[in-house]
Amino acid sequence: MTELGDYLRARRGLVGPAEVNLPSTGYRRVPGLRREEVALLAGISVDYYVRLEQGRERTPSASVLDALSAALRLPEDSRQHLFRLGGLSPRAGDPAVSDRVDPSLLELMSAWPGNPAIVYNRAYDVLASNAIADALFHDWAHSWNLMHIVFTDPAARSFYRDWPEVARNSVAGFRLGHGKAPDDPRIRQVLGELLAASPEFAELWTKHDARGKTLERKRFEHHEVGGLTLTMQTFDVRSSPGQELVVYHAEAGSPSSEALALLGTLAATSRQDRSISP
């Protein structure tokens, strides 16, 4: 078996016959499309598709991958992931994950006292955060790695009020980064740690979801300020490929905005107390 075959098998399991205008007839041992149905939709032979899934064919053409992307209804992130697994999209040139954050970006983040902001790498290590982000994430007491926080911190299921959704999205984003740089030593280390420590992560990893972060809302339950519903924006850091900047904000005039303002005050007070302590 290959990663490409595993991915194709996982994706066809998520597409029902009705979604692609095929009749749902006969007994199906597993959910989703049959191999012959995917081959029919993609316009390729069943034998060729079976060889792709079984790892006996490892060099599909771009036209075949395009046809499979359409047949499996893959969104753009998943389509790019498929092309990388098929060897037709360049992987990250530098296998090492950069830990250096541009000083000008750090300066910009510090100028947002009311907006939690973090920078993390493909391994989901937090490389930088401003004061209010430190306060939001409880000064990173459990870990500076976001994946470890989600899957190995006992408090995560109460901190993230929609933990199952956060867990699914986190694994999908981590899978996308892994596909871009599968030989990165830090990504492989974090992957091994999570597979060993979290059955929930291990189960989600087998689903082969791969997608990047987009505009989304997250609900937190903070032990000092209570409930927060925050919108997050994610940006690629162009000066350091592999790094992403995430900025959170609350809807103006909402209870979450008031809670975030209180969190900012607490963060500023804590920072001042640390600066004057002997």
DSSP sequence for 141-193: SS-SBHHHHHHH-TTHHHHBTTHHHHHHHHHHHHHHHHHH-TT-HHHHHHHHH
Helix (H, G, I), strand (E, B) or coil at 37: helix
Q: For residue 91, what pLDDT is reported?
A: 57
pLDDT, one tens digit per residue, over 120-163 is: 999 999 999 999 999 999 999 999 999 999 999 999 999 999 99
Mean pLDDT of the 37-44 span: 93
- Average pLDDT estimate for 29-38: 87
Tell me what pLDDT residue 1 has: 66
pLDDT tops 50 at residue 272: yes
* The pLDDT value given to residue 90: 59
CA dist 104 → 100, 110, 148, 223, 234 (Å): 12, 10, 28, 32, 18
* DSSP 8-state secondary structure symbol assigned to residue 140: G
Confidence of residue 171 (pLDDT cuts 50, 70, 90): very high
Distances (CA, A) of 247 to 114, 136, 191, 260: 10, 12, 25, 13
Percent of the chain with pLDDT over 90: 70
The predicted pLDDT at position 277 comes to 41
Give pLDDT, residue 181.
85
Mean pLDDT score across all residues of the chain: 89
The residue behind tokens 């990893």 is: 205
| Burial environment of residue 78 by CB neighbours within 10 A (0 to 12, 13 to 18, 19 or more) | buried
Give the model's pLDDT for residue 202: 97
Give the CA angle between residues 273, 229, 175 to the nearest 5°. 95
From residue 205, give the alpha-carbon distance in Å to each of 6, 122, 167, 174, 199.
Answer: 11, 16, 11, 9, 10
At residue 236, does pLDDT exceed 60?
A: yes
Which is more confidently placed, 160 or 92?
160
Asked if residues 122 and 183 have their Cβ atoms less than 8 Å apart, the reply is no
The answer to whether the pTM exceeds 0.75 is yes
- Per-residue pLDDT band for 276 (boundaries 50, 70, 90) equals very low
Q: Which helix (H) or strand (E) holds 216?
A: strand 216-222
**pLDDT one-digit tens code per residue, 75-91:** 888 998 999 999 887 55
The tokens of 99 are what? Answer: 């830990």
Average confidence (pLDDT) over 265-275: 70
